[in-house]
């Protein structure tokens, strides 16, 4: 049983979009609103794997990059947590992750000042001939089972 309908829309949800097809979830999955996927950019079929009885409450955000993967184990609860993934994040089973928690596998900006300047130009929305973004440095994040992460 889940509150997700066969068309991947959430029962009673005000958000107009369904859950993206690259999100796989197990039986008993609960999601308060599909808005949690508004920053989802994953293209891989396994971009986001949510285990059995995973719960995602409003305020969560899955900012999954085009080639990234993220997995959340069985019976894990996310309440307002933000996951920012460019490579890989794994969260174990029976975890509780609170609001105000951000988990990222990159700082999403170069450390070198000259590269940061190029990055700022690449991200400016109305600049003609924008340069490509510099390569991001990433490192996988792995969180084990039975972990509680509190706010801030």
- What's the CA angle centered on 2, arms 84 and 80, to 5 degrees? 30
Could you tell me the end-to-end alpha-carbon distance of the chain, in angstroms, rounded to an integer? 33
pLDDT score, position 65: 94
pLDDT in tens, 11-67: 999 999 999 999 999 999 999 999 999 999 999 999 999 999 999 998 999 999 999
Report whether 89 contacts 101 (CB < 8 A): no
Structure pTM?
Answer: 0.90
CA torsion through residues 117, 119, 124, 126, sign: positive
Of 17-26, 66-75, 120-129, where does mean pLDDT reach its minimum?
Answer: 120-129
pLDDT in tens, 129-144: 999 989 889 999 999 9
Q: What domains, with CATH codes, occur in the chain?
A: 23-149 (2.160.10)
CA distance 149 to 130: 39
């Amino acid at each position: 049983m889940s509150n997700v309908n066969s068309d991947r829309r959430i029962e009673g949800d005000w958000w107009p979009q369904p859950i993206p097809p690259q999100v796989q979830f197990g039986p008993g999955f609960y999601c308060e609103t599909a808005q949690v996927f508004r920053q989802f950019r994953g293209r891989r079929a396994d971009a986001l794997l949510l285990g059995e009885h995973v719960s995602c409450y409003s305020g969560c955000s899955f900012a999954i990059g085009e080639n990234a993967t993220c997995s959340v184990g069985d019976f894990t609860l996310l309440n307002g947590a933000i996951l920012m993934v460019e490579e890989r994040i794994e969260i174990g089973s029976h975890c509780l992750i609170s609001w105000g928690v951000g988990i990222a596998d990159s700082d999403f900006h170069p450390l070198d000042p000259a590269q940061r300047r190029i990055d700022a130009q690449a991200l400016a929305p109305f600049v003609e001939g924008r340069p490509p973004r510099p390569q991001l440095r990433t490192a996988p994040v792995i969180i084990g089972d039975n972990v509680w992460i509190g706010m801030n």
